[in-house]
Amino acid sequence: MIHNPAQMKSANWPGPNRNVAVETFERVADEPLDLIAVYGATAFDLFHVSDELSSSYDDSGELTETISELAEEMRQDFVRHGLFAGLRPTQDRVEYKSGTLDGRKLLQVYCGGRGMLLVADPDEPEEPLVRAAMSLLSV
């Protein structure tokens, strides 16, 4: 996968551009993703929230609260990951873990000192998403 390096910038750190990230996942995912975010120890950049995910909450305040809680959990996980990353070797410097959020697949991908949070259909294959995240984060 080849990206235009001029497009791969973020206000918080060098990293994926919102449009490039969304377009990348549209190409590799079988179903549209519900949420795409990039994060580090001090930043959480929300790139995409689907209409389907938004409508599954009673109001925007409830959605905002859920995303805020996720952002804080990701920040804490990122800090813990950074503290212990040197103790465990990783293949191609990529690690990921999966879980669930309201019946959806939740993927956290760590690569190159950054993290990416993805919320997808529960049947979505993980490998293409992880590879895409890796290509976006390792720029």
Please tell me the predicted confidence (pLDDT) of residue 66: 86
| pTM of this structure | 0.78
- The residue that leads in pLDDT, 2 or 16, is 16
Instruction: Place 1 in a pLDDT band, splitting at 50, 70 and 90.
Output: very low
Please tell me the predicted confidence (pLDDT) of residue 43: 77
- The residue that leads in pLDDT, 134 or 15, is 134
The CA angle 82-85-88, to the nearest 5 degrees, is 165
Please tell me the predicted confidence (pLDDT) of residue 124: 96
Please tell me the predicted confidence (pLDDT) of residue 22: 94
Q: What digits encode the pLDDT tens for the residues 84-104? A: 555 444 444 668 889 998 899
Is the pLDDT at 57 greater than 50? The verdict is yes
CATH fold for domain 5-137: Beta-Lactamase (3.30.450)
